[in-house]
Amino acid sequence: MMPGMVLSVPGVWLLLLFSAVLVPGQAHLYDEHDPLVSMEKGARGLLLNSSSCWLAQFFASWCGHCQMFRANWMILAHDVKDWRPAVYLTVLDCAKEANSKTCNEFEVQGYPTVQFFNTFSKKTSDGIKMSNREPEQMRQFIIDNLEAQKESPPPACPPLEPISAPEVDYFFENNDETYLVLIFEEPKMYMGREVALDMLQYQGVSVRRVLKQQSELVERYKVSSFPSGFLVCRNGSISKINLQEESRAEYTGFLRALPGVRKIFVNLIEWSANPVDDTVVRRTINSSAIYMADLESSIHYSLRVEVARFSNLNGDRLRALTNYVSVLKKYFPARPYLRTLLNSLHSWLYKQRAKVVTYRDFADAVNNKDQENNAVLTTDANYVGCQGSKPEFRGFPCSVWTLFHLLTVRASQLGSEQTSSQEVLKTMRSYVRYFFGCRDCAHHFEQMAKESMSSIRSLDEAIRWLWLSHNRVNERLAGDATEDPDFPKIQWPPKELCPDCQKMIDNNVTWYKPEVLSFMKKHFSENNLSYDYLEDETVLLEKQRKSTGGVRAKREAEDVETNPEKPTISEAITPPLKAEEHADLLTVSKSKPSPRHRPTIIKMKSLTALKSQREEEENIVDLDSYEHHFFPSRTLQGSNSHKNRYAIHPEKMMEFPDSEFDQEAVRARLLNRGVNANYLIGVVVENGDVNWKGRWVKMLEVGFSRLDISICVIMYFLTSMCLLAMYLYLNFRSRLRQKCLCPQP
């Protein structure tokens, strides 16, 4: 069925109304009843610096490919639920706008994205992406990554490497287990490791694998077939495990039933997300209308959620976004304030066309941060004609189809002879390629575009091409897990909406294309738009102005959360007006994390205080703050010192006001740079007394390390030698020339 359209009862399709009813839904694709952990309360806290491994799935509840992937993911979740706490499975719905920032941090650019995080991962980029989608392949992927962590495996994980003969001999001397199970198998087999992980939450038995190449153990136990299992007891008895079949399930069931083997209590991380009330309130709608609420929701979601997955926008992706906004500006029948926003957003993007645009800057433009004009876009997805019976059905994909059907019709109605016949379709193609989250859906659309889009020669053909392509998608997806049972995917439009559009010939639907084109132009015209369930633009504008009032503080809080090492504006160190105020205003706690830059430190204690109070905490000040305060026209960050990136020029130091300049503080800093502690601006300090002896020699050394001076001396010597060699060579040539010119006797 064509998204955005509701199949009506024959005879009353024009005025069909759906009564408002409550339809119980589920918590999108996954909920607290599944053996999963939700990341909604903090993905960083779960995936980073954890003693467990995590297999994380980032999905979008509306994504058809994610919905089809759910079955395999749930098979895996139940299959490895006993592997916890060594490894957990976790999920996050990126379709929720509240989660879009997290998905961006973990570099999620398509759905579903599955990443494996090793124990004690430090960065969001440490996730190992998994492309396999079959349960068995995903299970083996987990084992491979668990076994690869030889330096820091999960503390709860059993040994997965093959056992050696000496380990077998001394196993019961070094372990308290009652049984040792040896599973002999080929190197490429996973059963031994799977059974070991299955028994992770059980006490009294240890499972180890033995490879076929380990001839000593193979000969000792007279193993002739692989896989084979042997049970070694603490009392010394050894017996072959005879099962109906050599399978993981058979071994696991046998071992759990052994006397003395019992399940232990393990404190596991649970779902940890607030219960979600997904009750769907079915709206009263007119099946023959197009709802502006769906169209604005599509624009809102595409710009604020889909584009937000990319921190930086440049090149083809930025051009795709610019073209998308340009087409909306030209053909979308927007309300006044949205029209103003599209115009300003298009102008802003055009100015940035040769740059790298951050999404944060783009979001400021979308949200009209500067409030220069009365411009606003709805801030919530509010689906009406595209509403599904459950939150994961229809919604955004339906609204995207509806939007571009409308745009192709509007281009045909408003376009001129110079208008490209493929303008809207190329815009849709590039948008789907670079931004549409369901990558499987994007791939299928790209295949259709490659087949026939280039043959379109008129704007009317563009309308028919999109209609035909949409029906091809409906045909392909009819009856699968992505289909809403209340809105089946049929060939559209149905007879109830357009009696003359199709005919049945030999039980096959035959379309009468002139009637289809006429219907499409009428159905997707501006006159057929319904503005029901829309929030007034003046109300939206007032909400926008209130929300942008505290943007700067919110941004600063977000920066601290995502980058704790970056100091906030309120934490920035600024120089005081009086030297005695340094201790109060510029003290940095030793327990506070260091900033990302390496500040130049001035020690603020006198020589006497340093001798008598060595154990007190030093008051330190970032010299960068002094530099920018007193010398805003230059920077200290060009220094090449191997100990400190900042340099102080003696002549500039004299420009400090007397009340601000502390010679002992600078002397301490020079000591930190490797300069002799007794030197300060050509002055030698001995036992607290000033000695001017040798001040000119010492003056040359201020601000330079001994290595710097040594290199200068060496270079001076080499230069002198070169000049001397050149002089001797030229002198020799000159004498030789004179000798040759002299007359022979």
Do residue 505 and residue 369 come from a single domain? yes
296, 210: one domain: no
Confidence grade of residue 598 (pLDDT, cut at 50, 70, 90): very low
Quick one: tokens of 436? 């549409």
Domains: count for the chain: 4
Are 385 and 5 spatial neighbours (Cβ–Cβ below 8 Å)?
yes
Note whether 14 and 288 are within 8 A (CB): yes
Q: What are phi and psi of 304, to 5 degrees?
A: -100, -20
Residue 646 has pLDDT above 70, yes or no: no
Provide, for the chain, the percentages of residues in helix, strand and coil under a 3-state DSSP scheme, each rounded to the nearest 5. 45, 10, 45
Q: Which of 63, 398, 441, 501 is catalytic?
A: 63
Together in a domain, 30 and 101: yes
Q: Is residue 21 part of a domain?
A: no
The answer to whether the CB of 208 falls within 8 A of the CB of 159 is yes
What average pLDDT score do residues 231-255 get?
94
- The token duo for 360 is 């944060």
Same domain, 118 and 175: no
Helices (H) and strands (E) in the chain, counts: 27, 24
pLDDT bucket at 376, cuts 50 / 70 / 90: very high
Assess whether pLDDT exceeds 90 at residue 339: yes
Q: What is the mean pLDDT of the chain?
A: 79
The range of the structural domain enclosing residue 585 comes to: 569-704
Task: Say if residue 628's pLDDT is above 80.
Answer: no
Q: Is the confidence at residue 257, as pLDDT, over 60? A: yes
What's residue 177's pLDDT?
93
- Answer whether residue 541 is part of any domain: no
CA distance 292 to 232: 72
pLDDT band (50, 70, 90) for residue 700 = very low
Which residues, including other chains, have CB under 8 Å from residue 492's CB and lie 6 or more apart? Answer: 1, 2, 5, 467, 470, 471, 474
Tell me, yes or no, whether 341 and 444 share the same domain: yes
The reported pLDDT for the residue numbered 417 is: 74
Based on the fold, state whether residues 413 and 509 are members of the same structural domain: yes
Cα gap 657→640, rounded to integer Å: 27
Burial class of residue 6, CB neighbours in 10 A (0-12, 13-18, 19+) = buried
**What DSSP string runs through 497-528?**
T-TTSEEEETTEEEE-HHHHHHHHHHHTSGGG
pLDDT at 704: 58
Instruction: Assign residue 218 the CATH number of its domain.
Output: 3.40.30.10
213 lies in the same domain as 322: no
Whether pLDDT at 165 is above 80: yes
Distance of CA 294 to the CA centre of its chain: 28
The DSSP result for 32-90, as a single string, is TTSS-EE-TT-HHHHHSS-SSEEEEEEE-TT-HHHHHHHHHHHHHHHHSGGGTTTEEEE
pLDDT tens digits, 654-684 = 344 444 445 565 556 555 555 554 444 444 4
The pLDDT of 159-184, averaged and rounded, is 94
Region 701-729 average pLDDT: 81
In a domain, residue 186? The reply is yes
Catalytic residue among 66, 103, 386, 498: 66
Percent of the chain with pLDDT strictly greater than 70: 73
> Does residue 371 carry a pLDDT above 90?
no
Measured in whole angstroms, the distance separating CA 517 from the mean position of its chain's CA atoms is: 43
Is the CB of residue 252 less than 8 Å from the CB of residue 198? yes
Same domain, 587 and 633: yes
Residue 234 included in any domain: yes
The verdict on 80 and 198 lying in the same domain is: no
Half-sphere exposure of 264 (CA within 13 A, CB side): 15
Identify the weakest region by mean pLDDT among 9-23, 127-141, 403-417. Answer: 9-23
Q: The tokens 């926003």 sit on which residue?
A: 341
Residue 66 catalytic?
A: yes
Reported as a pLDDT band with limits 50, 70 and 90, residue 621 is very low
Whether 660 is covered by a domain: the verdict is yes
Residues 486 and 386: their CA atoms lie apart, in Å, by 12
- Beta-carbon contacts of 702 under 8 Å, excluding residues fewer than 6 positions away, are 650, 670, 675, 679, 680, 681, 682
Give the span between the Cα atoms of 116 and 345, in whole angstroms. Answer: 38
Q: Which residue has the tokens 């019709």?
A: 409
503-516: average pLDDT:
83
Same domain, 323 and 395: yes
Instruction: Specify the DSSP element, H or E, that contains 312.
Output: strand 312-313
Nearest alpha-carbon partner for 152 in 190, 117, 199, 193: 117
Share of the chain above pLDDT 90, in %: 51
What integer is the mean pLDDT of 116-135?
93
Q: Is 609 a residue whose pLDDT tops 70?
A: no
Instruction: Indicate whether 374 and 467 sit together in one domain.
Output: yes
pLDDT at 617 over 50: no
Residue 371 belongs to domain with CATH number: 1.20.120.310
Residue 658 domain-assigned (yes or no) = yes
The answer to whether residue 539 sits within a structural domain is no
User: Of 403 and 711, which is predicted with more confidence?
Assistant: 403
Element (H, E) at 103: helix 100-105
**554 domain-assigned:** no
Determine whether 63 is an active site residue. yes
Cα 626 to chain centroid, rounded: 38
Whether 474 and 340 share a structural domain? yes
Tell me the mean pLDDT in the region 277-281: 64
- For tokens 């193979």, name the residue: 218
Determine which helix (DSSP H) or strand (DSSP E) holds 262, and give its type and residue range: strand 262-263
Average pLDDT of the residues in 12-27: 36
d(CA 265, CA 72): 28
